[in-house]
Amino acid sequence: MVKPLPKEEGLDHTIAWMNEGYLFLSNRMNQFNSDIIETKILGKKCIAMRGPEAAELFYDSSRFIRYGALPKKAASVIIGKNSVFHLDDGQHHKRKQMLLNVLNDEQQIQLEQISKNQWEIAIEQWKQKDEIVLLDELEQLFTITVCNWIGIPLYAKNVSLRTKDIRSMLTAFTNKGTNYFQGNQAKKRALKWISYIIRQVRTGRIHPKEKSPLYQIAWYEDSNGKLLSIPNAAEEVINIIRPFVAITRYACFSQLAILENKQVKHRLHKDSQYVDWFIQEVKRFYPAVPFVVAKARESFIWKDIYFPKNRLVLLDLYGSNHHQDTWEEPEKFVPERFQFLDKKDRYKLIPQGAGDLEFGHRCAGEGITTQMMRISLEYLLRLDYDVPDQDLNYKLNQVPAQPSSKIRLQNIRIKE
Ligand code: HEM
């Protein structure tokens, strides 16, 4: 027997979604006491679901495809029209392989060194200032690091503009979409910039190191043996730069977690196992990507629910990471909970997607995100500073979320 899906009254719920942000889906699921509901956003009917079983279904590529799932506006500003996010089956697998190769262990070692050098330089500058705004400083630090690592020349005079453009892309849908125009302009500038660099590589005017991300993407051939078009190659480069700079939010939230949970600092200094749990808890607890979208490949029935062909399906990432059936006291920040989580479980902790890394759409940068969070923690823990009065709250209806004050720190000095 097919069950009807609980759904809220009303023609369309886009406004409610903009008002409620990360909580939009959970609010309705809690209200209907159901982990699967129907809703309508941007005029499209969607099935929304949460929890580990839903994640397992969502990442079953025999059931779902990505092509055409994201609305065009979001697709063009956030991730580009022909990027890996939209590909399915063999084409997806081949492109994902290339990206995973770009982000391999050897590259991560290079990245570690570049990142640490940039942290040392930044801290020397912070020591000279009365006050820093941590998020702003980190955005610049991460922009320089990622460009350096990818192999993109970045001149000092352009650092502020490039950093600002990446921030505008990240926040294009913040403030109920009013930042969209800025985000779109920034994306166009970034595409022009990176397209120029790809052209320079292909015409032999720039010689990036053979294994560098820039080299690999510029010379990548698709399944038909053709090089990616220049805009498409530029999109894939931007799809590394943009999420890399997004890690700054996690770095700031780590700092917030330390400020708000005084007991964790001591253990972070002493216990590397605890550092792992802490990073996982930051990723679980604090908001990043609210949900992911796919489209039903064919009609099917799951748990007596009918999924029609082409129906949009949303997996609630934030709601899954805060679901009380999966997590004990989910609204408390408790790193120790991760000592009990089976590391092989691919469907419970899902801030960066779930399932298989190679064959599914799970985030290609998960390892790098953890690595950068660990380095950020290591350096921030070496510092002493004063924390002036400020608004450290973050809003769950602002996507992506960040502490309101962006974390102001004063009188920075290195610990004795
Ligand atoms: C703040 C840190 C990050 C968060 C919260 C995050 C989150 C996500 C999410 C939710 C997805 C989509 C999964 C899906 O569509 O089912 C994704 C995919 C992806 N991410 Fe990340 N990500 C982060 C950092 C990174 C970094 C640092 C990189 C690269 C250096 C990266 C590269 C990618 C790529 C290439 C994909 C597409 C994978 C595919 O479609 O197969 N991400 N990420």
For 225, phi then psi, to 5°, come to 75, 15
The string of DSSP codes covering 244-286 is: HHHHHHHHHHHHHHHHH-HHHHHHHHH-HHHHHHHHHHHHHHS
pLDDT tens-digit series, residues 358-370: 999 999 999 999 9
pLDDT tens-digit series, residues 185-232: 999 999 999 999 999 999 999 999 988 999 999 999 987 899 999 999
User: Is 363 annotated as belonging to a binding site?
Assistant: yes
| Ligand 1 neighbourhood includes 250 CB (under 6 angstroms) | yes
| Ligand 1 neighbourhood includes 80 CB (under 6 angstroms) | no
What domains does the chain contain, in order, with CATH numbers?
A: 14-414 (1.10.630.10)
Nearest protein CA to atom 9 of ligand 1, as residue:
352
What single DSSP character describes residue 337?
G
Residues belonging to the chain: 416
At 177, the pLDDT band (50, 70, 90 cuts) reads: low
Distance CA 38, CA 8 (A): 8
* Mean of the per-residue pLDDT values of the chain: 94
Q: Which residue has the tokens 């990507």?
A: 289
What single DSSP character describes residue 347?
S
pTM of whole model > 0.80?
yes
Strand partners, 312: 46, 295
Give the position, in ligand 1's atom list, of the atom nearest the Cα of 92: 41
Strand order in the sheet with 64-65: 36-41, 44-49, 312-316, 291-296, 64-65
pLDDT tens-digit series, residues 53-112: 999 999 999 999 999 998 877 777 777 777 899 999 999 999 999 999 999 999 999 999
Distance 400 CA to ligand 1 centre (A): 14
Query: Which of 238, 363, 375 is the pocket-test mutation for ligand 1 (most atoms within 8 Å of CB)?
Result: 363
Residue 163 has pLDDT above 80, yes or no: yes
For 160, phi then psi, to 5°, come to -65, -45
| Ligand 1 neighbourhood includes 279 CB (under 6 angstroms) | no
Distance 364 CA to ligand 1 centre (A): 6
Residue 175 has pLDDT above 70, yes or no: no
Q: What is the pLDDT of residue 416?
A: 76
Residue 281 has pLDDT above 80, yes or no: yes
Distance 75 CA to ligand 1 centre (A): 14
* Contacting residues for 185 by C-beta, under 8 A, at least 6 apart: 168
Question: Please, what is the end-to-end C-alpha distance for the chain in angstroms?
Answer: 69
For 115, phi then psi, to 5°, come to -65, -45
Distance CA 388, CA 21 (A): 29
- 3-class SS of residue 312: strand
Beta strands at 36-41 and 131-133: parallel, antiparallel or unpaired: unpaired
For 147, phi then psi, to 5°, come to -65, -45
| Ligand 1 neighbourhood includes 294 CB (under 6 angstroms) | no
At 342, the pLDDT band (50, 70, 90 cuts) reads: confident
Q: What is the pLDDT of residue 211?
A: 87
Residue 312's nearest CA partner among 294, 292, 298 is: 294
pLDDT above 70: percentage of residues in the chain: 99
